[in-house]
Amino acid sequence: MFIGGVPFFGVPPRMYVTRHSHVVDHNLQDSLWNLYVRAYLPEAELTATHEMLDRLEFNDQMSLQSNRAWVVWDDGVPVAMTLIATDVRATRWLSELYFAKHYPERFRKGQVHYVVWAVVDPDYVAKGAVIHLGKHALAVEAAEGALLVFDTPESNQPQATGGAAELMVRLARMVSEADLIPITTQRYYAIDFVRPRESADSVGAQVGSDTESTMLTS
């Protein structure tokens, strides 16, 4: 899933934050889904991975009791949102075996949490919505002593330093002492078969025919 890099600005006083879990109200789901699509669509066009969930996947994540959503509202309209999984065994994105091995005590205590998504309406990236979101969501994570795992596509993290990771740790340090821990890097490649199979077969057949002709006339 992704963390969008946005600049730091002040927070307009009309914004407020709500916290949710087990969201099954259809009207609320629709409202948050519309925000999710507006925020994620540009990223989906830049990233090769399946960063953007479909509607059924989105509803499933919103309805999980172990997931908690934080939503920033501006005059009754959702403008930013994050969803944090507090039970990594219920997600398909993290390996519970990895965290059980490398962070056994934190895993045993249920402190390994995962940012399923964090999105901001494109019209609000320069209006402080992400700071409002971060202060509320990360304060709870800090109070629980969480090991908060997140991932971000290359478009938001082109280098090992800076980018979305730097934004996250700055937000975290607004509410508590915090360290940024690099975990792993995953790269995607493709094998490009330039010619269609029919063309490749015909070329191979032609080569075989030329070789046979040469042998017969030698």
Write the CATH number for 46.
3.40.630.30
Give the per-residue pLDDT at 29: 97
Note the pLDDT of residue 160.
81
- Taken in order 157, 160, 162, 164, is the CA torsion positive or negative? positive
Q: In this structure, are strands 67-74 and 112-120 parallel, antiparallel, or unpaired?
A: unpaired
Query: What does residue 178 show for φ and ψ, rounded to 5 degrees?
Result: -155, 145
- Looking at the predicted structure, is the pLDDT value of residue 7 above 50? no
**CA pair distance 1, 49, nearest whole angstrom:** 9
Q: Write out the two tokens for 202.
A: 């015909």
Reported pTM: 0.80
Question: Does residue 213 sit within a domain?
Answer: no
For the chain, the domain total comes to 1
Is the confidence at residue 50, as pLDDT, over 90?
A: no
pLDDT of residue 187: 83
Q: Between these two residues, 11 and 34, which has the higher pLDDT value?
A: 34
Q: Specify whether the CB–CB gap between 40 and 52 falls below 8 A.
A: yes
The whole-number average pLDDT for the span 162-189 is 90
Question: pLDDT tens digits for 134-144?
Answer: 999 999 999 99
Which is higher by pLDDT, 113 or 189? Answer: 113
The residue segments making up the domain with residue 150 are: 15-190
Residue carrying structure tokens 């002492």: 177
The answer to whether residue 19 sits within a structural domain is yes
